[in-house]
Amino acid sequence: MRRRDKKWETNDPEYYEFLRMKRSQKKQEINKNKEENKICLRCNDNIYNNHAKYCLLHWISSLGYNVELSKKLLDLLEDQKYRCKISGELLIPGKNASIDHIVPKSKNGLNDINNLQWVTIDINCAKREMSNEEFINLCKRIIYFNQQYI
Ligand SMILES: [Zn+2]
């Protein structure tokens, strides 16, 4: 059978494999071009830093948030002026920025913008399942006990 005829043979798995390969090659070429030109792999915006593969929005969504929530999280990051909500440190996406659940998921905290805040990765790891208040109280106890070092 000639290739031309195969095109219309809808049940031919070989032809679908051929199409799939073509598509995947094309996608790889596009991605390579985008990486060279520092363009987000998922849209045509610029990447957010020289080493990133995505724009800021798609970096946030790559953390596991849908695009709608990612847009809100991007607004939130700007509202927080790229500062950690708990320590005030500068947040650098892809380096130290992370999203924290104010009421932890383990205590039925929702994946909702009103329950999310940007903090540093260090703060997020240290805070674990604590509320902001519990965590800050722990920090106070540590500071009180270690006053000689301050
Ligand atoms: Zn993008």
pLDDT (tens digit per residue) in 72-128: 999 999 999 999 999 999 999 999 999 999 999 888 999 999 999 999 999 999 999
Q: Is the pLDDT of residue 148 over 90?
A: no
Ligand 1 centroid, distance to 48 Cα (angstroms): 9
Q: For the chain, what is the mean pLDDT?
A: 90
Percentage of the chain modeled with pLDDT above 70: 93
pLDDT above 80 for 2:
no
CA 34 to chain centre: 19
The model's pTM is 0.79
Task: List the domain boundaries for the chain.
Answer: 3-36, 80-149
**Residue 47 Cα to ligand 1 middle (Å):** 7
Between CA 90 and CA 143 the distance in angstroms is 22
Closest CA to 79 of 114, 50, 31: 114
> Which amino acid type is present at position 16?
Y
Q: Domain spanning 80-149 has what CATH number?
A: 1.10.30.50
Q: How many helices (H) and strands (E) does the chain have?
A: 6, 2
- Name the token pair of 100: 């924290």
pLDDT for residue 6: 54
Cα 129 to middle of ligand 1, angstroms: 32
* CA 60 to ligand 1 centroid distance, Å: 10
